[in-house]
Amino acid sequence: MQKDQCRICRRVGQKLFLKGERCFSPKCAVSKRPYPPGPQKKKRSGAASEYKRALIEKQKLKNWYGLSEHQFKKYVKNVLENRAEIQDIANELIKNLEKRLDSVVFSMGFAKSRTHARQLVSHGHFLVNKKAIDIPSYEVKKGDVITIKEHKKVKGAFKDLVNEIKKRVIPSWIELNKETLVGKLKDEPKLAEITPPAEISIIFEFYSR
């Protein structure tokens, strides 16, 4: 799985930080081999066609959030279908992706990467409003409170979390008690505070063809 994540980044020619801290280290595959995977790929081809460029941008954002093509397309199509009622469709797309439970868990600092967050959610480590939720795509709403199950806090991924999370910068739309590890979605996520690795307008064009 880790090798596959590195190949994804090398294929699009950009770090997508799919493996958390490792992506910042000298071990990062993109730093060591800044060319696409596969034989005779050390030289990147010339200028890409408009279609290929849109495809690459779509792949970047889709993989950044760790979604399948079906899942990602559903988010984009939903925004496009309601665009007449939406002031900023790029902001709306990112807002919807950031409100996924796995995204919120990552933003709260409970996981080292989005992939890690998805695994933790799937394994049933979290409560939303005191109710166990193990669906990564679950939509967290404004006011929802996310907590780690008490018996999980002293184990594995959460053992040293209180010390580690103090170093994390938490987005403004999230309220987090770094001592009790209780988090709350206090506002809607904002594109202005996020730096997506892709040009979102081109992604909408890709799916509007």
Q: Are residues 80 and 116 in the same domain?
A: no
Domain check: are 80 and 6 in the same one? Answer: no
Residue 191 within any structural domain of the chain: no
Query: Is residue 43, in this structure, part of any structural domain at all?
Result: no
- pLDDT recorded at residue 9: 62
pTM: 0.80
Residue 106 scores a pLDDT above 90: yes
Residues 71 and 127 in one domain: no
159 and 106 both lie in a single domain: yes
pLDDT at 155 (0 to 100): 79
Q: What is the pLDDT of residues 151-196, one digit of tens each?
A: 998 878 898 999 999 888 999 999 999 999 999 999 999 999 998 9
Residues 59, 11 within the same domain: no
- Domain assignment present for 45: no
Number of domains in the chain: 3
End-to-end alpha carbon distance in the chain: 32
What are 108-139's pLDDT values in tens digits? 999 999 999 999 999 999 999 999 999 999 99
Looking at residue 165, which CATH number applies to its domain? 3.10.290.10
Residues 92 and 107 in one domain: no
Residues 142 and 176 placed together within one structural domain of the fold: yes
Does residue 150 share a domain with residue 110?
Answer: yes
Whole domain around residue 140: which residue ranges?
100-185
pLDDT at site 98: 98
What pLDDT score does 184 carry?
98
pLDDT for residue 167? 86
Domain shared by 135 and 171, yes or no: yes
pLDDT in tens, 6-51: 665 666 666 566 656 655 566 666 556 666 676 655 555 555 688 8
> Is residue 84 located within the same domain as residue 142?
no
Calculate mean pLDDT across residues 65-76.
96
> What is the rounded average pLDDT of the residues 142-151?
96
